[in-house]
Amino acid sequence: MVEVNGSYDGMSGRRALVTGAAGGIGGAIVEVLSASGVAVAAVDRDVDGPADEGRWFGKVVAHRADVSDPDQVEEVVDAVERDLGPIDYLVNCAGILRPGEVLGMSDEDWLDTIRVNATGVFLVSRAVVRRMVPRRSGAVVTIGSNAAGTARVNMAAYAASKAAVTAFTRCLGLEVARYGIRCNVVAPGSTDTPMVTALWTGGDAERVSIDGSLESFRTGIPLGRLARPADVANAVHFLLSDQAAHVTMHDLTVDGGAALGH
């Protein structure tokens, strides 16, 4: 079970929608929220209703949906509000990573990355926040990346998509602050998840991530380890909670110092 840091008693009984719930970070976010008594709608293209709900503790309902499809987004948000009740928290965690140099990148890889990572955040946020506005409350956290502000070799599409959703989330937060709705970003660095480990082609790849690589202009990780999904989930947990009641439009980097504080 993911360790919950701190007291979040006020979260019990509230409802959350988490996209990308089948992934390493998304799954950890579902777990940390459900452990706090939050009823969670776990949304992903790769979940299968009751067959997947048993992987989490607490009240978790799995919904299959493609976040880049406007019709599916509206349908799943309607279903969640009908079955669980009004959504208090949204976590945009769905994402894909298609590495490659710009000059060799296919149109499909570029468009798919923007479609899922950026358009998906727009569609889900719009659908959920529209419903939060009349209630004059809610909190949104979007999973960005430290690559949004730091150039990375072979990561142009991913970095561009994360820069887009970082700016989008801040702008959304500004527009809906008058309704008491908070919008923040959590920006992980290298995290021990299948998305990241799939990029490792050699036995020393994890070490290179930690130590850095002069050849690829990449700094290492000052704290000396990859992030765990729980590290990111606990940051999301805090920003959703009432402990962060006066925090909005903030970008919280969780990368062990890899971006040197930027």
Catalytic residue ranges: 158
Identify the DSSP state of 47: -
Query: What residue has token string 């309607």?
Result: 78
First and final CA of the chain: distance in angstroms? Answer: 31
In angstroms, the CA 165 to CA 114 distance is: 10
User: In 3D, which of 54, 52, 56 has the Cα closest to residue 64?
Assistant: 52
Q: Count CB-CB contacts under 10 A for residue 246.
A: 7
Which residues lie closer than 8 Å to 25 by C-beta, 6 or more apart?
93, 143, 188, 191, 193, 229, 232, 233
Q: Coil, strand, or helix at residue 183?
A: strand
User: In 3D, which of 115, 33, 30 has the Cα closest to residue 72?
Assistant: 115
Q: Count CB-CB contacts under 10 A for residue 154.
A: 16
In angstroms, the CA 81 to CA 91 distance is: 15
CA distances for 135 relative to 73, 138, 171, angstroms: 20, 8, 20
Check: CB of residue 127 under 8 Å from CB of residue 54.
no
Backbone φ and ψ for 187, nearest 5 degrees, come out as -115, 95
